[in-house]
Amino acid sequence: MIIIDYHDKRPIYEQIIDRFQTLILNGALEPDTQLPSVRSLAIELSINANTIQRAYSELERKGFIYSIKGRGSFVRQDNSLAEKQKAKTLAELCGQLKQCKEIGITQPEVIQCVNQIFMEVSA
């Protein structure tokens, strides 16, 4: 379910966060589903448990999951969180687009790119 790419420059905990986020926003993980325990996931991925802990803490802070002491971690209800995430991602996209424009990429080139991406079948 979770794959770590050691060639990826991003820190491991961030890769884990991202992965769970998309799984949740995708609907692949439904509300109240239990996440693997910190320790079991640590063993499965053979990485430090602190790293998993950090990822889960951040996910909780961001509102994607909730934790119950002694029980485990669970997926939160989808309360407008998806909207926030969408807004944020769109903002990032805008930054990228501005950069494209700055170095002389034209609108049609971008549009073509967009169409190409949205034509493909979902992964």
Partner DNA sequence: GTGGTCTAGACCACG
Partner DNA sequence: GTGGTCTAGACCACC
Residues that bind a copy of itself (CB under 8 A): 6-7, 11, 21-22, 25-26, 66, 68-70, 82, 85-86, 89-90, 92-94, 96-105, 107, 109-111, 113-118, 122-123
Helices within the chain (DSSP H only): 12-26, 38-45, 49-62, 81-102, 107-119
For residue 84, the partner it binds in a copy of itself, DNA, none, with Cβ less than 5 to 8 A by kind, is none
Residue 110, both tokens: 């971008």
Q: Rule CB under 7 A: choose which of 18, 26, 32, 39 binds DNA.
A: 39
Judge residue 60's burial from the number of C-beta atoms within 10 Å of its C-beta, 0-12 exposed, 13-18 middle, 19 or more buried. middle
Considering only residues 61 to 100 of the shown chain, the ones binding DNA according to CB under 7 A are 67-73
Residue 7, contacted partner among a copy of itself, DNA, none, CB below 5-8 A by kind: a copy of itself
Residue 38 binding partner per list DNA, a copy of itself, none, with a CB distance cut-off of 5 to 8 Å that depends on partner kind = DNA
Tell me how far apart the terminal alpha carbons of the chain are, to the nearest angstrom: 14
| Measured distance CA(49)–CA(28) in Å, rounded | 24
